[in-house]
Amino acid sequence: MAESRIRFRHLQAFLEVARQGSVARAADFLHVSAPAVTKTLRELEEALGIAVVERDGRGIRVTRLGEIFLGHAGSAISALKRGVDSVRQDGALNRDPIRIGALPTVSARVMPLAMNLFLEENTGAALKIVTGENAVLLEQLRVGALDLVVGRLAAPEHMTGFFFEHLYSEQVLFVVRAGHPLSEPGTDIFARLDEFPVLMPTRESVIRPFVDRLFITNGMTAPATEIETVSDSFGRSFMRQSNAVWIISAGVVANEIASGAFVALPVDTEETKGPVGLTMRTDTAPSPAFTILLQTIREASRHHA
């Protein structure tokens, strides 16, 4: 039987190659040689009777059948880790952390309060929070590198194997520093936008198509000077030192707008409004600590809805 020939190392190598898109980078991460990773993938393909990866230029991509197997492989690794944790006798602090992926808007707006609420529960569970683009976080969730993603609802074709719980809705804002020329009353913002650098969401982000359509609706194809970024720390610093316009989710800059440091320009961005919530794998079997974490994130989100 094929399943009797598949070992943990096969799944681990396949998941890492899928995540990295490169045998060499996967080998570096796993601290083995590239030929060893290649050999392990060949063994997996022989056991399954299908090709799970194929060359894509200078890199590697997962095949269509490999994508189907990928979700199951990630679930198997996650289930194994949960099983090990459940029988360990050395205390919760030595267990693998609950791994949360959060969009920058969620990291700034929801997670600080959620973490304070979670810590008050004294579960003893360790946590790991990473931030990044929605697509990257979902791929890490798919391969078992994350347990939960708190972010925007992805397109239907990217939600296979996941389920989504809506927390609140959020829209994009056009933001400038206080005293910016575009903040003057009566300014035709789109007529003058090309005079200033514009910080934009990346082309891979969930909100980018909405922003592109907004420009087209207002007679523009794209800003003359465009800087793509997902770094909120860079965005804040650059805004304070320049006349840049930042197109960003409202939650990222909520504190700066409340303090008066930043100003939201009067641009109608209602069409960029979209759901933010919890994305998990459909096979997730929550531990008591994980269930408490979900409850604290829900409660924190209600404070900012």
CATH code of the domain covering residue 180: 3.40.190.10
Q: Is the dihedral of CA 205, 209, 212, 214 positive or negative?
A: negative
Name the domain count of the chain.
Answer: 3
CB atoms < 10 A from the CB of 286, how many? 15
The domain boundary residue, chosen from 67, 86, 105: 86
- CATH code where residue 34 lies: 1.10.10.10
| Same domain, residue pair 186 and 260 | yes
| Same domain, residue pair 267 and 189 | yes
| Same domain, residue pair 118 and 264 | no
User: For position 4, what pLDDT does the model report?
Assistant: 67
Of the two residues 277 and 160, the one the predictor is more confident about is 277
Q: Which of 5-14, 183-192, 234-243, 286-295 has the lowest mean pLDDT?
A: 5-14
Query: Which single residue is written with the structure tokens 């979209």?
Result: 274
Closest CA to 162 of 148, 173, 174: 148
Contacts with 174 (C-beta within 8 Å, 6 or more apart), sequence order: 189, 245, 246, 247, 264, 265, 267, 269
User: For position 22, what pLDDT does the model report?
Assistant: 87
* Alpha-carbon span 163 to 165, nearest angstrom: 7
Angle formed by the axes of helices 8-20 and 23-30, to 10°? Answer: 130
Average pLDDT of the segment spanning 73-91: 66
- 118-167 pLDDT, tens per residue? 999 888 888 999 988 888 899 889 888 899 999 998 888 888 889 999 99
* Alpha-carbon span 266 to 59, nearest angstrom: 44
Contacts with 190 (C-beta within 8 Å, 6 or more apart), sequence order: 218, 219, 220
User: For position 276, what pLDDT does the model report?
Assistant: 92
Q: Are 244 and 183 in contact (CB under 8 A)?
A: no
User: For position 91, what pLDDT does the model report?
Assistant: 46
Domain that holds residue 16: 8-86
Name the amino acid, one letter, at 139: E
Name the amino acid, one letter, at 46: E
User: For position 89, what pLDDT does the model report?
Assistant: 45
Threshold 0.85, pTM exceeds: no
Q: What is the mean pLDDT of the chain?
A: 87
Name the amino acid, one letter, at 14: F
User: For position 10, what pLDDT does the model report?
Assistant: 87
| Same domain, residue pair 110 and 230 | no
In a domain, 92, yes or no: no
> Reduced to 3 states, what is the DSSP secondary structure of residue 263?
strand
Of the two residues 58 and 4, the one the predictor is more confident about is 58
In a domain, 198, yes or no: yes
Q: DSSP states of 137-179 as a string?
A: HHHHHHTTS-SEEEEEPPPGGG-TTEEEEEEEEE-EEEEEETT
Q: First and final CA of the chain: distance in angstroms? A: 51
| Same domain, residue pair 192 and 164 | no
In a domain, 2, yes or no: no
| Same domain, residue pair 140 and 283 | yes
User: For position 95, what pLDDT does the model report?
Assistant: 59
Average pLDDT of the segment spanning 46-71: 85
Contacts with 108 (C-beta within 8 Å, 6 or more apart), sequence order: 232, 251, 252, 254, 255
* Alpha-carbon span 256 to 178, nearest angstrom: 10
The domain boundary residue, chosen from 59, 86, 113: 86
Residue 236 has pLDDT above 80, yes or no: yes
**For a pLDDT cut of 90, what percent of the chain falls above it?**
39
| Same domain, residue pair 143 and 288 | yes
Q: Are 199 and 235 in contact (CB under 8 A)?
A: yes
| Same domain, residue pair 231 and 279 | no
Residue 175 — very low, low, confident or very high, per pLDDT cuts 50/70/90? Answer: very high
- 9-52 pLDDT, tens per residue? 888 888 888 888 888 888 888 888 888 889 988 888 888 888 98
Q: Are 224 and 194 in contact (CB under 8 A)?
A: yes
User: For position 9, what pLDDT does the model report?
Assistant: 86
* Alpha-carbon span 181 to 151, nearest angstrom: 33
User: For position 241, what pLDDT does the model report?
Assistant: 93
Residue 210 has pLDDT above 70, yes or no: yes
Q: Which two tokens stand for residue 253?
A: 């800059």
User: For position 160, what pLDDT does the model report?
Assistant: 83
Residue 88 — very low, low, confident or very high, per pLDDT cuts 50/70/90? Answer: low
